[in-house]
Chains A and B, each alone.
Chain A
Amino acid sequence: MVIRFLEQVGGYFILLKKVFSRPEKPYVYYKQTMHEMVFLGLNSIGIISIISFFMGAVITLQTAYNTENPIYPTYLIGLGCRDSILLEFSSTIAGLILAGKVGSSIASEIGTMRVTEQIDALETMGVNSASYLILPKIIATLLFNPVLTLISISVGIVGGWIAGTSAGVITSQDYIYGIQYAFIPYYVTYAIIKTLFFAFIIATVSAFHGYRIEGGSLEVGQASTKAVVHSSILILLFNVILTQLLLS
């Protein structure tokens, strides 16, 4: 089992070396990156927005019910919602959601290309298939996931405001005061840094599982599952490491 694990880790880094070799035709890679930005990034805005909205709503309501004591000023609900979303939810939870959506999509797309010999076709032509298929996905997720995180933060805070004011647990004025109170801009930087790490993990781990498939459609499904599981575990692990490094 240890040997298999080491083989996987070794294989992952060998693949990364192949991915980061000099592109054959930068213009083709640029076009492919734009395509991936739409496919992996723009198409994820909907799900990220929906989840963030409800996440913000729930955080606000839960904070409100846990701070019912009159000694706590109500604007703390807004502050709590903002910091929870900034520090954890919009980067880590969004990362986990994207590991499911984007990760499985990358693994199954590359895996299907492998089993239908499309990757062999690229190699036969003399194209570096790993770089051509994976590098644009890495660039696209690195560029677009921070945007998704910023969208998630904004929508989450709006979700909290709508839920809080609709449920009557906080006034609009208090909520807006709370989200502005003791704001630390570094928290946004922290969220973006985490997102960048998570984006790299999602794109490369998923691509690795898809690229190494041997077999047929059954293996494509298995690789897709492994991609999501392994990406999620690594996201959680790096969440701890990065939190310690960036906030201590």
Chain B
Amino acid sequence: MIRVEKLNKAFNGKPVLEDISVTFEAGKTNLIIGRSGSGKTVLLKSIVGLHEIDSGEIWYDEKLFSKLEFQEKKEIRKQIGMLFQGSALFDSRTVEENVRFPLDMFTDQTFEEKTERVNFCLDKVNIKNANSLFPSEISGGMKKRVAIARAIALNPKYLFCDEPNSGLDPLTAILIDELIKEITDEYSMTTIVNTHDMNSVMKIGEKIIFLSDGVKCWEGSNKEILDSDCTTLNDFVFANALAKQLRKSSL
């Protein structure tokens, strides 16, 4: 479980996140949704410690992460897997070396044990016969899947995904969503996903928070989102023409 209490963050005096309090539950796919520039990525990066917060608290289970020293934070970070918007695979390393990297850095496993784990993770995300390819030689969808494989290599307790579907076609996006959900359920991870894709929201959003201009406007599940009274949320949810039409006909 990850708990955020009264988090505030500003850049050059301009507030980006204001008074955010939320609990992300373990074993669930927690979604942060909102328009571009609403502060989703800043919130996610603040939670993993890539941005220093101005005030507030971030708890990883019973540990107050935001107040820990560098070395203590490092220990928690070893339990974190993160999928970045652009995949962030290491260009100079092959697919296999990318997934092997956290194992090289943080385990004392033998080469064979690491190779077995790498192949297991790649198999999990349905990547076959691509071990020796470089990131520049694989598609965007494959990159995301390799990044997920790298993120789960150390069996993390917490999984963070920043816009996992951006730049992907709808079918591949669904596959990535299903993969994230499957991994979360299987390993009982605390998963936090940043997205503005309504398909993801409806498919995997067990817990959703909606951000607008750095403020948390709504919290609920995918079952409740369509019946919300929050007008900003409704504007976001029913933004596309098809959704608008469906809503009109249901009314």
Please provide the chain B residues from 156 to 198 with a CB less than 8 Å away from any CB of chain A in the complex.
Answer: 160
Contact pattern, B 47-84, Cβ under 8 Å of A = 1, otherwise 0: 01110000000000000000000000111011010101
> Cβ of A123 and Cβ of B50 under 8 Å apart?
yes
Distance in angstroms between the alpha carbons of A126 and B160 in the assembled complex: 14
The residues of B that contact A24 with a CB separation of less than 8 Å are: 105-106
Residues of chain A lying within 8 A (CB to CB) of residue B105: 24-25, 28, 125, 127
In the assembled complex, which residues on chain B have CB atoms less than 8 Å from the CB atom of A116? 86, 88, 91
Tell me which of A25, A28, A124 contacts B82 (CB under 8 A).
A124
Q: Are B78 and A126 in contact (CB under 8 A)?
A: yes
A27 nearest CB neighbor, chain B only: B104
Task: Say whether A50 faces chain B, with CB atoms less than 8 Å apart.
Answer: no
Q: Which residues of A contact B91 (CB under 8 A)?
A: 112-113, 116, 118
Residues of A within 8 A of B77 (CB): 123-126
Q: Are B45 and A120 in contact, with the CB atoms below 8 A?
A: yes
Q: Is A246 an interface residue (CB 8 A)?
A: no
Residues of chain B within 8 A of A126, CB atoms compared: 73-75, 77-78, 80, 106
B115 proximal to A (CB < 8 A):
no
How distant is the Cα of A126 from the Cα of B77 in the complex, in angstroms? Answer: 5
- Nearest-neighbour CB distance to chain A for B54, whole angstroms, equals 19
- CB-CB under 8 A from A28, the residues of chain B are 104-105
Contact residues, A149-168 vs B (CB, 8 A): none
The complex places the Cα of A126 from the Cα of B50 at a distance, in Å, of 11
Interface residues of chain A: helix, strand, loop or mixed (majority)? helix
Take A124-B48, A127-B105 as given contacts and tell me if A118 and B88 are in contact as well, using a CB distance cutoff of 8 Å. yes
A42 contacts chain B at the CB level, 8 A cutoff: no
- Expressed in whole angstroms, the minimum distance between the Cβ of A26 and any Cβ of chain B is 11
Is B85's beta carbon under 8 Å from chain A?
yes
Contact A125 B50 (CB under 8 A): no
Please determine whether A117 and B102 come into contact, CB atoms closer than 8 angstroms. Answer: no
Q: Nearest chain-A residue to B79 (Cβ)?
A: A126
B219 to chain A, nearest CB (A): 25
Cα distance A25–B49 when bound, in Å?
A: 22
| Residues on the B chain within 8 Å of A9, using CB | none
A97-135: contact bitstring with B at CB < 8 Å (1 yes, 0 no)?
000000000000000110011101101111100000000
Contact residue among B75, B80, B85, B86 (Cβ-Cβ distance under 8 Å from A125): B80
B162 smallest CB distance to A (angstroms): 8
- Taking the closest CB of chain A, its distance from the CB of B114, in whole angstroms, is 12
Please determine whether B78 and A121 come into contact, CB atoms closer than 8 angstroms.
Answer: no
Give the residue among A28, A112, A113, A126 with the most B Cβ atoms within 10 A. Answer: A126
**Cross-chain pairs A/B with CB under 8 angstroms, 6 sampled:** A28-B105, A113-B91, A117-B85, A117-B86, A118-B88, A121-B84
Where the two chains meet, the residues of A that have a C-beta atom closer than 8 Å to any C-beta of B are: 24-25, 28, 112-113, 116-118, 120-121, 123-127
